[in-house]
């Protein structure tokens, strides 16, 4: 199936390419909650938008439609996703974007990108062995890993304002790589932390606890995006994420404690107007 589908976002008409099935995820609209969040955050938070896990360019398009001149840096290990995103930008005259063709990690190297679907742009692909549990690995591809420090030696990266992380289990590696910048720049973090499962998959529970501990050390607070049909809202976390099996509770906005007074009213207002 090869076609171009008409879509709309933020009142702008978009041309969405679909080639051999790649691009269909654009039509599912599983992240409708993100539109009001980006609309509220971008005017309030300046600095570079760092997009870890570009996939099919969903976050990049939001940024370009809302603030075409916002500095952007993406990381994506899957060449199919990069090729799709670049075509999407061209079709919609959204300009080029700097995308590092690698997974962001805490050291340079290589890893197997593990696919669980017969989809060359599989959004559930992971570099963390065992993270998908008993799910069959359909295929694998050797990809590069880069640390943030390594990338920055090639071209200076300005102060980071927003850090988006959607990496299917590799959050710990990303956060360790970004630790100094989190402490220095105090960006807002948008992060997906997949459910542990019930009973919990040990590797997921261990990594979830590591993520929470790191944010505590850096004086960040988690706020969960509740993404239930007809019930999309932001809720404060008064304890650990704990064990659960609900994909609709996997997204979080993580704020430096010193910015909560400024940003929380904007975020609650944005979510309430959906």
- Ramachandran angles phi, psi of 45, nearest 5°: -130, 110
C-alpha distances in angstroms, 228 versus 48, 64, 247? Answer: 30, 27, 10
Q: Which pLDDT score, from 0 to 100, does residue 170 have?
A: 98
Could you tell me which of 172, 163, 177, 180 has the C-alpha nearest to residue 41? 163
Sketch the domain layout of the chain as residue ranges: 2-272
How is domain 2-272 classified at the architecture level of CATH?
3-Layer(aba) Sandwich (3.40)
Bridge pairing between strands 2-9 and 109-115 = unpaired
If pLDDT is split at 50, 70 and 90, which confidence band does 228 have? confident
If pLDDT is split at 50, 70 and 90, which confidence band does 230 have? confident
If pLDDT is split at 50, 70 and 90, which confidence band does 40 have? very high
Whether the CB-CB separation of 244 and 224 falls below 8 Å is answered with: no
Across 176-215, b (16+ Cβ under 10 Å) vs e yields bbbeebbeebbbbbbbbbbbbeeebbebbbebbeebbebb
Look at residue 58 and tell me whether its pLDDT is greater than 80. yes
C-alpha distances in angstroms, 262 versus 33, 78, 183, 184, 191? Answer: 20, 37, 19, 19, 20
- Ramachandran angles phi, psi of 47, nearest 5°: 110, 175
CA distance 135 to 197: 13
If pLDDT is split at 50, 70 and 90, which confidence band does 29 have? low
Could you tell me which of 70, 41, 63 has the C-alpha nearest to residue 266? 41
pLDDT digits over 2-15, tens only?
899 998 999 999 99
Place of tokens 């992971």: 126
Report pTM: 0.96
Look at residue 31 and tell me whether its pLDDT is greater than 90. no
**Helix-strand-coil split of the chain, %, nearest 5:** 35, 30, 35
If pLDDT is split at 50, 70 and 90, which confidence band does 137 have? very high
C-alpha distances in angstroms, 187 versus 80, 127, 169? Answer: 29, 25, 21
How much is the average pLDDT of 82-102? 97
With a pLDDT cut of 90, the percent of the chain lying above it is 86
Q: Which pLDDT score, from 0 to 100, does residue 267 have?
A: 96
């Amino acid at each position: 199936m090869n076609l171009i589908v008409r879509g709309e976002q933020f009142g702008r008409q978009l041309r969405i390419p679909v080639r051999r099935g790649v691009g269909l995820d654009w039509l599912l609209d599983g992240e409708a909650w993100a539109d009001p969040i980006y609309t509220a955050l971008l005017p309030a938070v300046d600095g570079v938008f760092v997009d870890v896990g570009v996939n099919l360019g969903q976050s990049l398009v939001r940024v370009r439609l809302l603030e075409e001149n916002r500095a952007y840096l993406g990381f994506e290990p899957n060449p199919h996703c990069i090729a799709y995103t670049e075509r999407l930008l061209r079709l919609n005259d959204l300009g080029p974007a700097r995308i590092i063709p690698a997974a962001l990690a805490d050291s340079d190297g290589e890893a197997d990108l593990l696919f669980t679907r017969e989809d060359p742009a599989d959004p559930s692909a992971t570099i963390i062995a065992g993270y998908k549990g008993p799910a069959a690995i359909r295929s694998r591809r050797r990809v590069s890993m880069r640390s943030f420090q390594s990338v920055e030696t090639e071209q200076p990266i300005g102060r980071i304002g927003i850090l988006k992380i959607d990496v299917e289990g590799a959050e710990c590696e990303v956060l360790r790589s970004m630790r100094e910048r989190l402490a220095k720049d105090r960006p807002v973090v948008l992060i997906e932390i997949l459910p542990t499962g019930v009973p919990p998959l040990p590797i997921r529970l261990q990594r979830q606890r590591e993520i929470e501990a790191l944010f505590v050390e850096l004086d960040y607070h988690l706020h969960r995006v509740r993404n239930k049909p007809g019930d999309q809202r932001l809720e404060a976390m008064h304890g650990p994420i704990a064990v659960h099996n609900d994909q609709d509770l996997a997204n979080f906005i993580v704020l430096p404690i010193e910015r909560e007074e400024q940003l929380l009213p904007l975020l609650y207002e944005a979510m309430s107007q959906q």
